[in-house]
């Protein structure tokens, strides 16, 4: 009887230790996903190139987290910050926008950009830089400056990280003539955005404009 109680106690201790290890592994996985996501966002905000390996490593953590949560006894705490990140990605995809955290995971070289597309991107970059320099007109109702990066992203049908990258890539080729007159800069950006969308749609349909 004493031996049986001893074996039961040993089993309970083993299960308790297993649970503690599982909890540590779960928390470590959540921290890993958050750190990788933070690094990707930071690089995008600086306009730096995001490597495909980085994006795939982050998606790997996301996959492992969702797989763990699909078990009958899902671990805690819930990765609420990750849910918010995935919801944002889903929002872009539902609007037909392929983000760099999706397209960047695919192993393929970015196609060369032609002169017309570069011109469109420069118009977008000029608007962003004008916004940073506070050259854009304020909203007549709110008296606030527009969110220049968000507005360009919506106009061109891309995500904000792409806009930040364009601004980084083209800022060296933009001069004062691209930023003035301020009253026309938004119109030029919107014209470029409309042309960019048409060109991208034509590319998807196999045309070449």
pTM for this prediction:
0.52
pLDDT of the residue at 1: 47
Which residues are CB-contacts of 77 (< 8 A; sequence separation ≥ 6)? 30
In the chain, the percentage of residues whose pLDDT exceeds 70 is 80
**Could you write out the three-class secondary structure of 109-131?**
CCCCCCHHHHHHHHHHHHHHHHH
pLDDT of the residue at 207: 44
Retrieve residue 91's tokens.
Answer: 């929002």
> Who has greater pLDDT, 21 or 15?
21
pLDDT of the residue at 166: 92
* pLDDT tens-digit map of 35-85: 999 999 888 888 888 888 899 999 989 988 998 888 887 788 889 999 999
Q: How many CA atoms lie within 13 A of 194 on its CB side?
A: 5
In the chain, the percentage of residues whose pLDDT exceeds 90 is 23
Instruction: Round to whole Å and give the CA distance between 191 and 15.
Output: 65
Which residues are CB-contacts of 146 (< 8 A; sequence separation ≥ 6)? 131, 136, 139, 186
DSSP three-state, residue 48: coil
Assess contact for 152 and 114: CB atoms under 8 A: no
pLDDT of the residue at 209: 39
């Amino acid at each position: 009887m004493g031996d049986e109680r001893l074996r039961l106690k040993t089993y309970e201790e083993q299960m308790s230790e297993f649970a503690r290890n599982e909890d540590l592994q779960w928390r470590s996985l959540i921290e890993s996903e958050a750190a990788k996501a933070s690094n990707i966002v930071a690089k995008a905000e600086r306009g730096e190139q995001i490597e495909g390996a980085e994006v795939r490593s982050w998606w790997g953590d996301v996959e492992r987290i969702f797989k763990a949560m699909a078990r009958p006894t899902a671990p805690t705490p819930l990765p609420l910050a990750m849910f918010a990140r995935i919801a944002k990605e889903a929002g872009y995809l539902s609007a037909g926008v392929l983000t760099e955290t999706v397209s960047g995971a695919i192993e393929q070289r970015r196609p060369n950009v032609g002169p017309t597309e570069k011109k469109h991107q420069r118009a977008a970059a000029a608007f962003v830089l004008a916004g940073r320099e506070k050259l854009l007109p304020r909203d007549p109702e709110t008296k606030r400056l527009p969110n220049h990066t968000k507005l360009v992203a919506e106009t061109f049908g891309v995500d904000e990280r792409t806009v930040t990258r364009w601004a980084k890539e083209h800022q060296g080729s933009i001069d004062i003539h691209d930023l003035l007159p301020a009253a026309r800069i938004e119109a030029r950006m919107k014209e470029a955005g409309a042309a960019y969308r048409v060109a991208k749609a034509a590319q998807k349909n196999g045309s070449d404009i």
